[in-house]
A = this chain, B = another copy of it.
Amino acid sequence: MSLPSRPRAAFVVTGSELVRGERTDRNGPFLAREALRLGLEPARIAIVGDRPEELEAAFREGLGADLCVVSGGLGPTHDDRTIELLARAIGRELVVDQALERQIGDVSRRIAERLRRPYADFQAGVRKQATLPAGASSLGLAGTAPGVLLEANRTVVVALPGPPGELQRLWSRALETEAIRRLLERARPPGRRVLRFFGASESAVAHALDQAGGEGEGVEATVCARDFEVHVDLVVDDGGEPRADALAAALREGLGAHLFAEDERPVEELVLALCRARGLSLATAESCTGGLVAARLTSVPGASDAFRGAVVAYADDVKRAELGVPAEVLEQHGAVSAETARAMAVGARERLRVDVAVSVTGVAGPGGGTPEKPVGLVYVHAVAPDGELAAGFSLPADRETVRRRAAASALHLVRRLVTGG
């Protein structure tokens, strides 16, 4: 059985600072996730600067897809060239949309007043931003920049402003248009299975998948490892359900001890949900992570239901004074030790009057390592009313990676302690 292929979506992200690597693009990944969700095939993300020849070439390639979404280059200045070069790539005249010119003019007058500058300074920019390829329509304004939609041969083209919030807002407008609705009639949103493991190796997960038959028959499998987690993603087409069921069952059977989620919630969200469900309050005591664990927990809306606070005890005397870590423990075992980790967690639980506390101490590097306690050595400890758990690892890596792994370890330790898993 062969299914019709999905409509292809191509994304052209413009911006000098992006193509130079000075800023990381967020629009391409957002649009790609949207395409996937809607049942289109995210085929490519091209990031280009504002040179006319690079832009035009990228637009021509994008026009080979069924949907081409462009981000950025819609501003009032000379280096905002998206509309002009899209028109050239498609072979359309540029025309001034007079209703749009009035609308942008109104916004610009208010800006001119606020900045106490003459409106005349803005007039050329207003005219430029109201100039669209023949047949195009506005999706609404972001500041003075219009989102733009047009159809060219068999491609729906959407041009959106670069700031991610604005892009996302006008993208939702594009989804309401007749042109996109017609395109989506040919789309086929795929099924999805997600399995997330902690503490299993990527190769063990890949091997288990292979043994169970691997991808094929309407199932695409992706395996990604990060910070001791391995994420398996099954994208399931019509008819692929039996194979997907078989793969998921095999992974559950072979690696069930490591399986911690079958949805996309990050571990901090699971930890908070577990604590909330059991009526447990939570705190952290952090040294090398310097607040990262608390920051991850509080990134979740509603964290205050369970999370009460944290002590970041970077200096040893803060460990003593604020967490009650005994001076003898620090002297005998050092700040980076299983003993200090335990004393920090016990201290945080008492001081912050919570049910569950987790601690982290380690050598994040790049300096401070010794042969006995090298960069990448980390201890975590969690205490709850009815038990405690300790863990640790020693893996050389850069400072950011060590801290990220340490934070992930602390969160998973709490998860295991609270679930008894």
Q: Interface residues, chain A, CB within 8 Å of chain B?
A: 16-24, 26, 28-33, 36, 42-49, 51, 54, 57-58, 61, 77, 111, 115, 117, 165, 203-204, 206-207, 220, 222, 224, 233, 284, 286, 288-295, 297-299, 301-304, 307-315, 317-318, 321-322, 351-353, 364-367, 397-401, 403
Contacts and interface: CB of A to CB of B under 8 A. Distances in A.
Complex A-B, nearest 9 residue pairs according to Cβ-Cβ distance, in ascending order: A290-B298, A291-B291, A21-B32, A291-B294, A21-B29, A310-B312, A309-B318, A21-B33, A45-B47
A238 to B, nearest CB: 19
Contacts of A295: 289-292, 295
A289 B303 CA distance: 12
B307 A314 contact: yes
B313 A312 contact: no
B46 A45 contact: yes
A32 B46 contact: no
Nearest to A201: B115
Contacts of A54: 43-44
Contact of A17 (B17, B48, B115, B222): B222
Contact of A309 (B297, B298, B315): B315
B308 A304 contact: no
Given A22-B233, A47-B47, 4 more contacts: A20-B33, A294-B314, A301-B367, A311-B312
A19 B117 CA distance: 44
Q: In the assembly, how many copies of this chain are there?
A: 2
Contacts of A312: 284, 291, 294, 298, 309-312
Nearest to A297: B290
B318 A314 contact: no
A406 to B, nearest CB: 11
A89 B238 CA distance: 33
B47 A28 contact: yes
Contacts of A290: 291, 294-295, 297-299, 303, 307, 310
A310 B309 contact: no
A48 B43 contact: yes
A322 B299 contact: no
A311 B288 CA distance: 15
Contacts of A45: 18-19, 46-47
A36 B23 CA distance: 13
Candidate in A22, A291, A301 with the most chain B CB atoms within 10 angstroms? A291
Contacts of A291: 284, 286, 290-295, 298, 310, 312
A159 to B, nearest CB: 18
26 contacts: A21-B30, A21-B31, A21-B33, A22-B233, A24-B29, A28-B47, A43-B49, A44-B47, A47-B47, A57-B61, A61-B61, A165-B397, A284-B291, A290-B297, A290-B298, A290-B299, A291-B298, A292-B295, A295-B295, A299-B399, A301-B399, A304-B314, A308-B314, A309-B313, A310-B314, A322-B352
A144 to B, nearest CB: 11
Contacts of A403: 298-299
